[in-house]
């Protein structure tokens, strides 16, 4: 009898393996579903974006090993816009028109997203944008899987205002000179003033992409902080300019106990190229850190190391955002039974993914996620120790209540109430 049962089990197992192999074979024989990967693999943003390309490649590889999607293999079409903002739009158009991709996963900077936005809206494509941004935008053709200001910038400043953050009174808003830092700082300045901070206690500074000479600026920050009030730097510096910025902080002896820096674009990947021994205690605000202690994160890191064949490769927040966005897209395609953009967009609403951060992350009808907020301190090993996090996921807000013209706007792309900016009559066409 035992042998009989064993034989049945073996046969069943053999059948399952055969079916799995058959499904995989069918998927490989079918015409592939193409997805675009639109990330800078060269230029100033390659330090951050190359890893995001690798993340999508990992997700595609994993999906194909499981039989593909809708019985078809998935093919990643990778292009390099080379940190050239107009080139992003050109490459996006190629992906949609020539390569016929079902969706695009890409961009880092807001200027690159702004560059491609008219293309996606004209061609009715889908962009999954995985990086924290300034808000003040709502498009039916973009799903924003990174943090909005109320999920990163505002909570970080609130933390520094409180007793755990040192009760900061003076603020340096330092950023790269483009739309994300300027808009974020506009929001932060309005927020700080609403909390009673005087304009004289706010210093704002912008530098170009790839800026390398930080000696004078860091000296100015030290001078601004010498007024006898606790001072912090809120950094929206992007790309490889972060490396010399943090090195100059160390060169001039600025420690986190003196002038803490909280960054919105510095994660584990950026710190991998910096000696962090003198940066311990400086902060970053994200929705995920590699140091998160959850079973889901353990599995995510294990999958990443297995795919890259490199145990030293780190994970970071925009990677998690791509992981979430890709998972939601595949779930939406399966639910819709098609890759048709209109059907997939409708199926995206309410999609839920258990994220590596350990939270159930949900896609809302304003095309933003509900995500947790975490504040992390830089450690000597280049990782972050999480010093604060929200109990629940926070719903991303497309429009800031601290900008008067934005406070009255609504973002809701469900049918028939389809609107990104409800004061603009052009959006009424979408409801027809």
Q: Which residues of the chain have a pLDDT value below 50?
A: 1-13, 15-19, 21-24, 26-28, 417-432
Pair 105, 322: CB distance under 8 Å = yes
Q: Which of 366, 328, 371 is nearest to 347 (CA)?
A: 328
Give me the residues paired with residue 362 across strands: 352, 370
DSSP state of 278: G
The pLDDT of residue 431 is 29
Pair 38, 125: CB distance under 8 Å = no
pTM of the model: 0.86
How would you classify the pairing of strands 369-371 and 394-395? antiparallel
To which residue do tokens 């015409």 refer?
Answer: 31
The pLDDT of residue 344 is 97
CA distance 311 to 306: 8
CA distance 221 to 249: 10
How would you classify the pairing of strands 360-363 and 352-354? antiparallel
The pLDDT of residue 29 is 61
Pair 135, 113: CB distance under 8 Å = no
The first and second tokens of residue 246, run together, are 């943090």
CA distance 100 to 123: 11
């Amino acid at each position: 009898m035992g042998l009989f049962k064993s034989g049945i089990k073996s046969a069943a197992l053999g059948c399952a393996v055969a079916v799995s192999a058959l499904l995989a074979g069918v998927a490989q024989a079918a015409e592939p579903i193409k997805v675009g990967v639109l990330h800078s693999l060269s230029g100033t943003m390659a330090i951050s974006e190359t890893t995001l390309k690798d993340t999508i490649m990992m997700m595609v590889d994993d999906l194909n090993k499981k039989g593909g999607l809708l019985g078809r293999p998935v093919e990643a079409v990778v292009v390099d816009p080379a940190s050239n903002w107009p080139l992003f739009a050109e490459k996006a158009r190629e992906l949609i028109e020539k390569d016929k991709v079902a969706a695009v996963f890409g961009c880092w900077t807001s200027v690159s997203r702004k560059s491609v936005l008219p293309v996606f809206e004209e061609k009715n494509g889908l962009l999954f944008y995985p990086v924290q941004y300034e808000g003040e935008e709502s498009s039916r053709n973009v799903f924003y899987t990174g943090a909005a200001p109320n999920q990163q910038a505002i909570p970080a400043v609130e933390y520094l205002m409180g007793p755990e953050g040192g009760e900061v009174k003076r603020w340096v808003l330092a950023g790269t000179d483009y739309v994300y830092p300027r808009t974020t700082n506009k929001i932060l300045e309005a927020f700080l003033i609403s909390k009673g901070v005087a304009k004289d206690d706010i210093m704002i500074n912008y530098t170009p992409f790839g800026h390398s000479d930080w000696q004078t600026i860091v000296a100015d920050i030290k001078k601004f902080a010498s007024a006898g009030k606790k001072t912090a730097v809120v950094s929206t510096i992007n790309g490889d300019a972060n490396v010399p910025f943090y090195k100059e902080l160390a060169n001039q002896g600025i420690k986190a106990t003196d002038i803490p820096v909280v960054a919105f674009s510095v994660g584990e990947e950026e710190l991998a190229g910096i000696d962090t021994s003198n940066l311990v205690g400086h902060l970053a605000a994200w929705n995920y850190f590699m140091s998160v202690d959850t079973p889901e994160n353990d599995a995510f890191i294990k999958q990443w190391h297995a795919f890259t064949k490199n145990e030293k490769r780190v994970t970071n927040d925009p990677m998690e955002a791509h992981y979430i966005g890709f998972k939601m897209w595949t779930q939406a395609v399966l639910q819709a039974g098609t890759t048709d953009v209109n059907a997939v967009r409708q199926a995206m609403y309410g999609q839920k993914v258990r994220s590596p951060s350990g939270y159930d992350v949900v896609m809302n009808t304003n095309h933003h996620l509900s995500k947790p907020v975490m504040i992390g301190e830089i450690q000597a090993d280049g990782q972050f120790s999480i010093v604060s996090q929200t109990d629940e996921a926070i719903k991303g807000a497309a429009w800031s209540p601290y900008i008067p013209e934005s406070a009255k706007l609504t973002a809701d792309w469900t049918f028939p109430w389809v609107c990104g900016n409800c004061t603009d009559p052009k959006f009424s066409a979408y409801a027809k």
